Amino acid sequence: MAFIRHNLVRIVNAISLLNTNFWRWFHQLASPPHVFALAGRVCPWFAGLAIIFLVAGTYGGLVLAPADYLQGDGFRIIYVHVPSAYLGMLAYMVMASSAAIGFIWRMKMAHGLAVSAAPLGAWFTVLALVTGGIWGKPMWGTYWQWADARLMSELMLLFLFLGYMVLRASFDDRDKADRISAILAVVGVINIPIIHYSVEWWSTLHQGPTIAKLDEPSITMDMLMPLLIMIIGFTAFFGWLLCKRLQGEILKRERQTRWVDGLIKGRTA
């Protein structure tokens, strides 16, 4: 009995230690100087990773991957189209989840992260729509199809990003803008599964999923590898610019505080 009790105490202690570490970490994430420093530290790593993977992925996609038996070399657009579409959705999830955290725990830094993700997500969604259109012209015979569910839900994603930014811009009070735009971001999450399943629910022009499905991906290894490398490269690229933008956003929000003043004096001195 003593043995069991002793071990139970040890487990509970370990959990509570983990718990206090977690909450310390969580509170540090709410502290602007800490987040600013953290973003500054990880930024160059993301930048380096992004450049290496984007160059390698582009080379792999344009040169190493074999031509498709149906689409010939035209299929190579996949290496820029799929990563940008995926990144638009990732950016939306980052934006919505950090906006939700900011809303629930009143963390200003989480709202700052959401604000930083929005323009990046909007640009990648534009990129997905444009490269998709360019790919669609030779394969489907049209740049755009209003009746296609995937195309419409992707356009919806762009409008959600733009709506989030416009809604924020319409408030003078930043706290109010943070809270109200967070609601829009969270409600808009419903669009993410709609985008993903649109090609299955409404079988229209856009092709079905290639990688993100339960059975084996319907693409050969030498075509898949450059795509995965590009996806990592795009994700790192997003991380890089997200950190840079977050730092800018923190400076914007905290520019009249003592710690920013100290930071600038330390930097210029």
Choose, by CB under 8 A, the member of 65, 77, 109, 113 that binds another protein. Answer: 77
Applying CB under 8 A, the span of 75-83, 96-104, 105-113, 147-155 interacting with another protein comes to 75-83
| Region from 146-154, 203-211, 221-229, 240-248 binding another protein, contact rule CB under 8 A | 240-248
Among 35, 53, 57, 76, binds another protein (CB under 8 A): 76
CA atoms within 13 A on the CB side of 19: 6
Q: Of 30-38, 62-70, 104-112, 157-165, which part binds another protein (CB under 8 A)?
A: 62-70
173-192 burial code (b ≥16 CB/10 A, e <16): eeeebbbbbbebbbebbebb
CA distance 77 to 84: 11
Using CB under 8 A as the binding rule, whether residue 219 contacts another protein is answered as no
Q: Which of 35, 65, 80, 82 binds another protein (CB under 8 A)?
A: 80
Q: Which two tokens stand for residue 241?
A: 């610019």
Please list the residues that pair with 68 across neighbouring strands: 72
d(CA 166, CA 160): 10
Quote the least distance from Cβ 78 to another protein, whole Å. 10
Alpha helices (H) in 60-190, listed in sequence order: 78-105, 108-140, 149-169, 174-187
How far the first Cα of the chain sits from its last, in Å, is: 64
What residue type is assigned to position 120 of the chain?
Answer: L
Residues within the interface to another protein (CB under 8 A): 54, 58, 62-63, 67, 72-74, 76-77, 80-81, 84, 119-120, 123, 126-127, 130-131, 134-135, 137-138, 237, 241, 244-245, 247-249, 251-252, 254-258, 260-261, 264, 268
